[in-house]
A and B are shown apart, each in its own frame.
Chain A
Amino acid sequence: MPRLVSHPDEVKIVTSRFGKGAAKIDTYIELGGYAAARKALEQGPDWIINEMKASGLRGRGGAGFPTGLKWSFVPKVSAKPKYVLVNGDESEPGTCKDHLIFLHDPHAVIEGTIIAGLAIGAKTGFIYLRGEYRYLIEIVERAVADAYAKGFLGKGIFGGDRETGTEFQVIVQTGAGAYEVGEESALMESLEGKRGVPRIKPPFPAVVGLYGGPTVINNAETIATVPHVLAMGGAAYAAVGSERNGGTRLFGLSGHIARPGVYELPMGYSLRKMIYEVGGGVRGGRALKAVVPGGSSTPVLLPEEIDIGMDFDQVGKAGSMLGSGGVVVIDDQTCMVEFALRTISFYQHESCGWCIPCREGTDWLKKSLTRFHAGFGTMKDIDNIQYLAENMMGRTFCPLGDAAAMPTLGFVKKFRREFEEHLNGKPCAFARHVELAVV
């Protein structure tokens, strides 16, 4: 069972029911659950979307798009059925927040899905979990069955008439191992029983999505936040966070941190405090070498760059991204070339192969970095790695190409000296595994 952590600076909104047995529907209801969905049903779609807009909630998957605005793009009238699709394919290295949400509070995801459905006028919601999360899929399936039994799902939800009342169904779907499926259009392809390759946009999913119908796709954390936003009111939720960044965020502290774990902190919380106070500093009292602020695709930050607030805008201004909220702390004994190699190996493995710059680019970056780390690099390689990565940027259907190129550029630019130290047959100063196993 994953360890739960706590810190006085936390503002527990999304995590407020963690560890309280809220996976059981009666406990969830006792703790105020499903009241927001009932209210949403009474108040109607315009009220929901206005509250969501007022909340300043931005997509927790990584892109940070305002949720209320996203919902408002869905056409009111559609010839084809509309859908809500919850992205629980959590696969970005450094990220394990949705894992805890599904484990401790699956009904929040279901309730959020219902609310999203009411907002856009959908009758069906899908909750897609990565295949590795089988035990969590079973928990969510159990929760869905309980919600049907209570009449919260199905025909005439929350005591409505079975004929004339509102209908909403939820289907839980398993993936089968694919990072790329976390990209929204690849996710729809996978749910349609196909290879998870991205679609070209436009049309955007809000217009042509799942089975050709208008579709809202939100990250599981975003959806689990929705009932809380309606319960406390959009303005009150917004007030918790920083400017244009409403509310809290589940930050996953991992790597060389003294107290790793998932902490719920207000948007805009200082990265320095997050590492040194909330996380207890670098493990073993070692010096900090670097931080990956939002999952492995976000460019690395140096110790002198951590005096920033953790929200989408401030981290963006610092030249990186808030991404998925996975903060990976790296100590001074780590080889950054090895770290860069392990990062790119992942993207090389996960590239779906659809777009050539990504398929070939990740492969060449992995080959170059493997050779480099083994001590057979040349000075020209460093420039070539940078050139290659720069030329992948913005040249693919989906962001996986960028996700591979951005961190690589960060490592090469910020740790160039360490790359140079690997030249001329010099063994890596921190070498543990010169030959990485083939993934």
Chain B
Amino acid sequence: MLTSYKSPIRLAAVAAIAVASTFGMTAQATDITGAGSSFVYPVVSKWSAAYAEKTGNHVNYQSIGSGGGIAQIKAGTVDFGASDMPLDEATLDKFGLGQFPDVIGGIVPAFNVEGIAAGKMVLDGKTLADIYLGKITKWNDPAIRALNPELKLPAANITVVHRSDGSGTTFNFSDYLSKVSPEWKTKVGEGTAVQWPVGIGGKGNEGVSAYIKQIKDSIGYVEYAYALQNHIGYAVMKNAAGNVVAPTIATFQAAADTADWKHSKNFNLVMTNAPGAKAWPITATSWVIMYKKPKNVTNSKVAFDFFKWAYTHGQAQARSLDYVPLPPSLVQQIENYWKTEYKM
């Protein structure tokens, strides 16, 4: 039906009729809204388009940041929230919410330094923490030079870019920094939004990528797909095992493999600084958060159907955007969780 609105004139006519006449209509049951994580926006957006084509149901996903996803689902204004930070049991119980993973991906330190290509710079957790603490202010700092003896690092000031909105990407990033830097843990800590010692704030993974692209000698952290698609330089990392690893599906997978989902309640498991030899240190999961007793049963059903569809048919799209699809055992566990926890 919607594809028939072809010409702008007809659009205007339709709009005019709508204005004049539609105050009494009921909402279309097949339109559902989700909001939250910009980390998963690229893949959910693709899923949503393909799913709409297949079923006619519309999944309107708004990339407003994980903090926003949590806030909106708590307020009950959306059908599902998406967050890269898991909620703890007390919060879930208090609001009658349940959560389950939808995709796993990697967060990369991204930079814009002239003459240094993507994947050529090596960083480790402590150095990254010191940059974000404002202790390392120049690109040719001895700490960075020691990790990159071959690189010609400029004497320029580092411009730190972080998120201005509440973000699960920030949560995973700050969680990682807390694990590797005691100073970060005491001074800043972890959360979807923290009190940044230095830097400028961009809105969403989108905004941070845009700033990195535009500002010379900047550094930030973004979901891997954003760095890749926008041709932004990203660093390789020294992981917990002491190996230098590049961000790839394989290293994200290696980190995901260390996760013990079976023993996690409500899938509450953060996999940063994972121990595996090849594990990417800032690998992150994204969760979908929904009411156990849905406020709108029809919408809730469509949401479950959407994610079920995504687990089975959306994996190729996830892979094409460098997310790690969930392993079948985990999908099985999620579907059991649905049956036991949700009233459908």
> Do the two chains bind?
no
List chain A positions with a Cβ less than 8 A from chain B.
none
Residues of B within 8 A of A (CB): none
